[in-house]
């Protein structure tokens, strides 16, 4: 008898969990994420699903019923550094459990149903968000991505090879000829559902968002003997840029975050030689995002001139606005015993957004997050809501694969 949701959830809970914080470190192709990947393969085999794996490490486990392009549901198993338990794995475990619900009901799909896992959705190792689904759909090329390096200088192609995915020049393979539609269940990363008193929601759109590297160079010097007026201090330029970004985002009603900074030589009693900082920016429209980033970059440049430092800004990952298929969202959200599920926007990126941009009709289900907190050890969802998510996903799959 295959594991049910709670069994699976209990089994994976300790994988990659840090004692100190209770947060998760499941970096793609690292030991914890590989343990989770092996667990997924084991679950697929235990359910008699046909496992398909591409050259990028993405997987789809197929229930080969019916005919024609399949209905696929799934999410990711990687996490941000010190992340939560639910962001990603909730969608994968719920998908496996939802298939079990359908089988136990004797449902016979008119088309294949697949459970997918896309690698490096967070982009937290190689810097490009939704890396696995971008490669699978051709939104980015292997030529561009294979040379992406992590913080230790390891290339993507080296990391893939060390994980056993040996392939010379893997090609995009995921398109609407293979997939009729994609549905991703995800813990909500926000408070809309809890504020509405709803357990389940459907996503209407994803805000455009991007990641930008600010490289600021100055003049390394002694922290004590160098007069303040003689300094070319990159930390000052960075600090004023972070303040400017925060103010600009508040004024414009958008989002800007500096969560990662690298200082060289990182010495307490030295004026730094360089500060590299990564900004995550998000806005309601593509134009607003471009305007927000340009304004902050301009203010940073002005500050660099005053400080006698130099600045280079590079876009590392940009995801355009995604408006999900409105008809599909309506079909999923309406006609439930408890009434229609709310349809709401999100500022978080997802693989469903990449597949939607690749002309695969896609949708997302959200499960209530009682605090809205995410990308944190405190991320949480109540078990009854998780089980309601499994039932909601099973019902959705039955509608789409009938």
Q: How far is the CB of 125 from Mn ion (least distance, A)?
A: 13
State residue 41 phi and psi, 5-degree precision.
Answer: -60, -45
Contact window for ligand HGY (CB under 6 A) among 121-129, 248-256, 257-265, 305-313: 121-129
Nearer CB in complex with ligand HGY: 2/377: 377
Q: Is 118 helix (H, G, I), strand (E, B) or coil?
A: coil
Residues 189/372, Cβ–Cβ less than 8 Å: yes
Does the protein bind Mn ion through residue 353 (CB under 5 A)? no
Q: How many chain residues bind Mn ion (CB under 5 A)?
A: 2
Q: How far is the CB of 121 from Mn ion (least distance, A)?
A: 6
**Of the candidates 122, 184, 198, 379, which one interacts with ligand HGY according to CB under 6 A?**
122
* Helix, strand, coil in percent for the chain, rounding step 5: 35, 25, 40
x/- letters, 199..218, toward Mn ion (CB under 5 A): --------------------
Structure tokens belonging to residue 264: 């060289």
Does the protein bind ligand HGY through residue 348 (CB under 6 A)? yes
Q: Which residues of 286-319 are buried (b: 16+ CB within 10 A; e: fewer)?
A: eebbeebbebbbebbeebbeebebbbebeebbbb
Does the protein bind ligand HGY through residue 349 (CB under 6 A)? yes
Q: How far is the CB of 300 from ligand HGY (least distance, A)?
A: 22
Q: Which residues of 372-392 are buried (b: 16+ CB within 10 A; e: fewer)?
A: bebbbbebbbeeebbbbbbeb
Residue 349 binds which entry of ligand HGY, Mn ion, none, CB below 5-8 Å type-dependent: ligand HGY
Q: Cis before residue 77, ω within 30 degrees of 0?
A: no
Q: Is 214 helix (H, G, I), strand (E, B) or coil?
A: strand
Residues, the chain, total? 402
Does the protein bind ligand HGY through residue 313 (CB under 6 A)? no
Nearer CB in complex with ligand HGY: 71/128: 128
Residues 84-103 that bind Mn ion (CB under 5 A): 87-88
x/- letters, 61..100, toward ligand HGY (CB under 6 A): ----------------------------------------
Residue with tokens 């500096």: 258
Residues 281/319, Cβ–Cβ less than 8 Å: no
Residues 98/397, Cβ–Cβ less than 8 Å: yes
CA proximity to 12, closest of 80, 58, 103, 79:
79
Nearer CB in complex with Mn ion: 293/348: 348
Q: How far is the CB of 351 from Mn ion (least distance, A)?
A: 8
Q: How far is the CB of 43 from ligand HGY (least distance, A)?
A: 23
Contact window for Mn ion (CB under 5 A) among 10-18, 79-87, 193-201, 302-310: 79-87
Q: How many chain residues bind ligand HGY (CB under 6 A)?
A: 5
Residue 88 binds which entry of ligand HGY, Mn ion, none, CB below 5-8 Å type-dependent: Mn ion
Task: Give me the DSSP letters along 253-312.
Answer: T-EEEEEEEEEES--TTEE-SEEEEEEEEE-SSHHHHHHHHHHHHHHHHHHHHHHT-EEE
Nearer CB in complex with ligand HGY: 93/131: 131
Q: Which residues bind ligand HGY (CB under 6 A)?
A: 121-122, 129, 348-349
Q: Which residues bind Mn ion (CB under 5 A)?
A: 87-88
């Amino acid at each position: 008898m295959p594991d049910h949701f709670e069994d699976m959830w209990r089994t994976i809970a300790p994988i990659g969990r840090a004692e100190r914080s209770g947060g998760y470190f499941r970096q793609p192709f690292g030991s914890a994420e590989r343990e989770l990947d092996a667990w997924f393969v084991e679950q697929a085999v235990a359910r008699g699903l046909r496992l398909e794996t591409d050259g990028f490490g993405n997987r789809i486990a197929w229930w080969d019923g019916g005919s024609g392009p399949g209905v696929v549901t799934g999410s990711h198993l990687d996490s941000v550094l010190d992340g939560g338990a639910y962001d990603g794995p909730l969608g994968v475990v719920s998908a496996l459990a939802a298939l079990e619900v359908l089988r136990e009901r004797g449902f016979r799909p008119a088309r294949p149903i697949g459970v997918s896992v896309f690698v490096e959705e967070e982009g937290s190792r190689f810097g490009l968000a939704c890396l696995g689904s971008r490669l699978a759909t051709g939104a980015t090329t292997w030529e561009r991505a294979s040379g992406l390096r992590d913080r230790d200088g390891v290339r993507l192609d080296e990391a893939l090879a060390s994980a056993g995915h040996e392939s010379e020049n893997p090609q995009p393979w995921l398109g609407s000829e293979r997939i009729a539609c994609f549905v991703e269940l995800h813990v909500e990363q926000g408070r809309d559902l809890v504020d509405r008193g709803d357990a389940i929601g459907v996503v209407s759109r994803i805000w455009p968002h991007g990641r930008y590297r600010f490289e600021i160079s100055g003049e390394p010097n002694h922290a004590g003997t160098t007069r303040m007026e003689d300094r070319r201090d990159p930390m000052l330029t960075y600090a004023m840029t972070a303040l400017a970004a925060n103010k600009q985002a508040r004024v414009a009603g958008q989002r800007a975050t500096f969560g990662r900074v690298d200082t060289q030589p990182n010495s307490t009693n030295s004026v730094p030689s360089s500060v590299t900082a990564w900004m995550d920016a998000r806005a309601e429209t593509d134009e607003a995002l471009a305007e927000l980033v340009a304004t902050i970059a301009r203010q940073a440049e002005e500050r660099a001139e005053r400080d006698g430092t130099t600045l280079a800004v590079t876009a590392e990952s940009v995801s355009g606005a995604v408006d999900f298929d409105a008809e599909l969202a309506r079909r999923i959200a309406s006609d439930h015993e408890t009434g229609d599920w709310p349809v709401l926007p999100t500022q978080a990126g997802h693989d469903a957004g990449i597949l939607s941009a690749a002309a695969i009709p896609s949708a997302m289900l959200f499960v209530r997050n009682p605090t809205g907190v995410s990308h944190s050890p405190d991320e949480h969802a109540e078990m009854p809501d998780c089980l309601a998510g499994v039932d909601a996903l099973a019902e959705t799959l039955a509608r789409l694969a009938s």
